[in-house]
Structure 1
């Protein structure tokens, strides 16, 4: 919408905040009420009886050009995020006293990040640079950069932060963990009778009161800072530790967008259990779809000092992407490609390769193995070759990966672990389709149409395209070919046939779940148009 180089951080953040909330209104408030109309080049909608408009393109991605406006006494006036918040509150009932402050906080965080980035160079590593590129966050979230806690800026990936981890020694009689965590031992030297436990420095600040007693009596000891600077990745709490070439997922217990970001005790155990079960699944997927990769989480380590510290100090070890990509392949975060664009000489060929890498293994994981991957833009890395062509897809973050209930034996697991690891079949399919077909592929397609040679104003969101040459239509025709090819190889399973027939897609209702102050797992869906059927 606006050039980051020319406008002030505050004005860019205001525009981005307004755009995110406006998208939520189109999808979750006005759309379901029949109060949205696409009149090229505008999308018009009513919120709390007020008519709004903005130039739009990008199909499901719903990208905006120029300023949004509201109609007052027959005259179009500039729309601010604050005014739109008031309209949302009026529409939804004004019974959430946190909502306005969360939207404002998210906008302020964006402003701070944009200012910080001007003086901080990105990492030289292209993968890490892509991890730190998500300045504006989820495009369909009312407060995409809301961030709890104090002192967050020095740990923010979007500000190109890096910092040494703190090293603790855990007395072995209170050491907790499972799986293979041997890589952690290379981070430093623990004294006899102790095991090494890395900690995020922000995490230690937040746990200071709880840590006082075990640090005083020797159950824990502070071994100082690590020897290398860790680099935070897009999730904020997961960092890359270059000394051991591993990603480490920490507990922060602060709210970032929808969720409190911590490693619950059942998630610690579940990550190791899932890694064990997924190894043969991904072996089969990689054989069927060359280029399919994943990042196992082979172990976790913590301290058995009560639930608060077991969770708060728990660290999950994750394999890093460079080690799973073949030589000559560069992993890049899909979210960064969607947000910043990825100009290519042959967008249709590039898109075909992209869809072929991402979509079939996700569908086969569900249909063939009863595994729900969560392929949203922040959970997928695309490996590109020297020419920039997608040749690998790397799936990560087992927190969102689930087993389809009834297709896996989980009775031997603790009840809370089993519950956290499973989805019923319908909920699992909705999650797969939302992540793949609503959150992911439309955003990549929109970025390709925006950065393609000769792109310009043209078709609106109802047509799924921006440029007058129909590139968006061509991209979705290619996606249909890829998915139909997969369906044919599998005997046309009913879920994929329904997907290709044009059945509406489930879009996660982020505004609704934030308004209700509910857990992310309880988020519902709203139906949105399916771009796959022939035009």
Structure 2
């Protein structure tokens, strides 16, 4: 089915799903109220001058699970209209008193999201939940709908249709990287474990003949190959950004364009991280993370220089803790080390410190161990985000995994929370280190459908330290401490509470009601798992109170309203979430 056919066939369905998501998430963030009639499942929301009626049910976190097919939009004249995202966006414009100028950029994101949603629906119609359980990690990237909270989660602002088809994960495309030679003395480089950049890293992507060809190109230009490092860049980034932004560096041979070469890569869900897909030598050792100056969800997807030199030391330190800490050893937790990274500043933009941040994040690379390199025979790895995906028959993937495991739902959840939540919580309370555990950052390794362990990743920018000095942090390299954000306990706990409980488990828990596990029971299992961990480590009791997961109410972080108000194109800083509201904590009430 081509794009025009998919859009025609799935347009109404995609719009209804998106409208349901927007109403649910904007209500959750406090943009408007949802009223319930005497029939508790019949709900209504007034947005602008329109009234939306639907079947829905309030969930334990306060958000609504809406039946998209039941949605009806009634305008002021009591006329029913089409249920379409563009009409809802116009209603929100009026409701939130937004200018046409500000809304226009969100129209672009909305259309791009609907475009990809229609094509994904056409493709996913062929798959069952059982098929999804059999997908490789690379195949999973194409089947995940995207960020569950952001309304327009596939905006990719700056890309056209051809770019999407070549570089977006839902199209399952593959391509070669472009290679540059960059003078060593001009680069910021971070490298750990005595790795050799060209021989250990670049050689995993380029053949010996390609490396010789590049060396000969440099020599033919009267340049010494040993003075340069070979740096991969995304072909879109080179064509659309780097070839112009680094024209001075090209002129003085700081940067030499070498051309496309190497193994084929395929985009992961984050778009800028790429998996090697044609490694004939065996399992690929590394994934590669590259900047893409496109706006997607909340920010431009560049790579900042701040963490480049510290990142390899941070990931090496966490990997060492996973291998030596008794609790993490018992849990089987592993880290996907990021052993090397590099960054080149643009001479022109580096003089403009207050320029929009995207101009300071144009050219860099992070090498990361591949998840596949950590798997043993019989293992199957899943992105946590895949668990709440559903097939075209409405069967959630998580229920298929539970079925395959042969365990009761409660026991399966205990296994999941022990494998996933406990390691993140332990790193925080024991070592003062927080990693943001959203759905695409958490890789769950299962065997026969049973969660066994997780693979940690993303240590550059998605890692924070507790503000309080604790002795366990003394051994963390100073280079890491100098660049890593430190937060007080009451805020850093949100990397787990909001980053995982709200952003992942909030969407997972309602799905188990299909097999008669209520949301309260779901969070009772989570609470019990955390309490069991605390019982194993009484020596950390004082920290449990400071990093309290069981308060009656917790801060609610809002993303969509913040994005709607943020000057996304001209800001020198990334968007920050709204933190104005509180909500009831299911963990607290699960123990009452």
> Is the shorter-chain TM-score for this pair beyond 0.5, marking a shared fold?
yes
1:522 corresponds to: 576
Distance 2:135 2:179 in 1: 25
Say whether 1:269 aligns with 2:309. yes
**1:130 corresponds to which of 122, 140, 144:** 140
Partner deviation per Cα, 1:107-138 (whole Å, 9 max, x = no partner): 43332453378579999961111222223x22
1:477 corresponds to: 524
Distance 2:252 2:360 in 1: 17
2:353 corresponds to: none
**Is the alpha carbon distance of 1:71 and 1:486 closer, same or farther for their aligned partners in structure 2, counting shifts above 3 Å?**
farther
TM-score normalised by structure 1 residue count? 0.84
**Is the alpha carbon distance of 1:104 and 1:40 closer, same or farther for their aligned partners in structure 2, counting shifts above 3 Å?**
farther
Say whether 1:509 aligns with 2:549. no
Whether the aligned pair in 2 keeps the contact of 1:68 and 1:78 (CA below 8 Å) is no
1:360 corresponds to: 422
TM-score normalised by structure 2 residue count? 0.76
**1:237 corresponds to which of 272, 277, 284:** 272
Partner deviation per Cα, 1:84-110 (whole Å, 9 max, x = no partner): 223322232224733354145334333
Q: Any idea what SS the aligned residue of 1:268 has?
A: coil
1:290 deviates by 1.4
2:191 corresponds to: 179
Q: Any idea what SS the aligned residue of 2:490 has?
A: helix
2:354 corresponds to: none
Whether the aligned pair in 2 keeps the contact of 1:103 and 1:143 (CA below 8 Å) is no
**Is the alpha carbon distance of 1:531 and 1:425 closer, same or farther for their aligned partners in structure 2, counting shifts above 3 Å?**
closer
Say whether 1:299 aligns with 2:311. no
Distance 1:46 1:522 in 2: 27
2:72 corresponds to: 69
Q: Any idea what SS the aligned residue of 1:265 has?
A: coil
Q: How does 1:290-329 map to 2 (within 5 A)?
A: 290-303=331-344, 306=347, 311-329=361-379
2:382 corresponds to: 332
2:242 corresponds to: 207
1:424 deviates by 3.0
2:10 corresponds to: 9
1:29 deviates by 2.6
**1:487 corresponds to which of 513, 520, 534:** 534
2:52 corresponds to: 52
**Is the alpha carbon distance of 1:6 and 1:312 closer, same or farther for their aligned partners in structure 2, counting shifts above 3 Å?**
closer
Comparing 56-65 with 187-196, which one deviates more in the overlay? 56-65
1:260 corresponds to: 300
**Is the alpha carbon distance of 1:30 and 1:204 closer, same or farther for their aligned partners in structure 2, counting shifts above 3 Å?**
closer
Question: 5+ residue gaps in structure 2?
Answer: 216-224, 351-358, 391-395, 568-572
1:458 corresponds to: none
Distance 2:290 2:263 in 1: 17
1:289 deviates by 4.4
1:431 corresponds to: 495
Whether the aligned pair in 1 keeps the contact of 2:108 and 2:157 (CA below 8 Å) is no
1:332 deviates by 0.9
Say whether 1:108 aligns with 2:172. no
2:253 corresponds to: 218
2:154 corresponds to: 145
Comparing 277-286 with 125-134, which one deviates more in the overlay? 277-286
Distance 2:431 2:575 in 1: 22
Say whether 1:397 aligns with 2:466. no
Whether the aligned pair in 1 keeps the contact of 2:246 and 2:346 (CA below 8 Å) is no
1:388 corresponds to: 449
Comparing 120-129 with 91-100, which one deviates more in the overlay? 120-129
**1:161 corresponds to which of 150, 173, 177:** 173
Distance 2:89 2:168 in 1: 26
**Is the alpha carbon distance of 1:53 and 1:226 closer, same or farther for their aligned partners in structure 2, counting shifts above 3 Å?**
same
Please, what is the CA RMSD of the aligned residues? Answer: 3.4
Distance 2:446 2:322 in 1: 20
**Is the alpha carbon distance of 1:412 and 1:234 closer, same or farther for their aligned partners in structure 2, counting shifts above 3 Å?**
same
**Is the alpha carbon distance of 1:255 and 1:288 closer, same or farther for their aligned partners in structure 2, counting shifts above 3 Å?**
same
Partner deviation per Cα, 1:450-485 (whole Å, 9 max, x = no partner): 5x4xxxxxxxxxxxxxxxx45444323322221222
**Is the alpha carbon distance of 1:155 and 1:14 closer, same or farther for their aligned partners in structure 2, counting shifts above 3 Å?**
same
Question: 5+ residue gaps in structure 1?
Answer: 453-468
Q: Any idea what SS the aligned residue of 2:264 has?
A: strand
**Is the alpha carbon distance of 1:305 and 1:63 closer, same or farther for their aligned partners in structure 2, counting shifts above 3 Å?**
same
Partner deviation per Cα, 1:368-418 (whole Å, 9 max, x = no partner): 110111011111011111x1111111222122111112334699559xx83
Whether the aligned pair in 2 keeps the contact of 1:487 and 1:496 (CA below 8 Å) is no
**Is the alpha carbon distance of 1:76 and 1:173 closer, same or farther for their aligned partners in structure 2, counting shifts above 3 Å?**
closer
**Is the alpha carbon distance of 1:419 and 1:167 closer, same or farther for their aligned partners in structure 2, counting shifts above 3 Å?**
closer
Say whether 1:248 aligns with 2:288. yes
Whether the aligned pair in 1 keeps the contact of 2:45 and 2:51 (CA below 8 Å) is yes
Q: Any idea what SS the aligned residue of 1:500 has?
A: coil
1:231 deviates by 1.1
Whether the aligned pair in 2 keeps the contact of 1:23 and 1:140 (CA below 8 Å) is no
Whether the aligned pair in 1 keeps the contact of 2:180 and 2:231 (CA below 8 Å) is yes
Q: Any idea what SS the aligned residue of 1:110 has?
A: helix
1:86 corresponds to: 90
Partner deviation per Cα, 1:65-98 (whole Å, 9 max, x = no partner): 2232345567776543233223322232224733
Whether the aligned pair in 2 keeps the contact of 1:30 and 1:46 (CA below 8 Å) is no
1:504 deviates by 2.6
Q: Any idea what SS the aligned residue of 1:29 has?
A: coil
**Is the alpha carbon distance of 1:6 and 1:40 closer, same or farther for their aligned partners in structure 2, counting shifts above 3 Å?**
farther
1:144 deviates by 1.7
1:434 deviates by 0.6
- Structure of larger gyration radius: 2
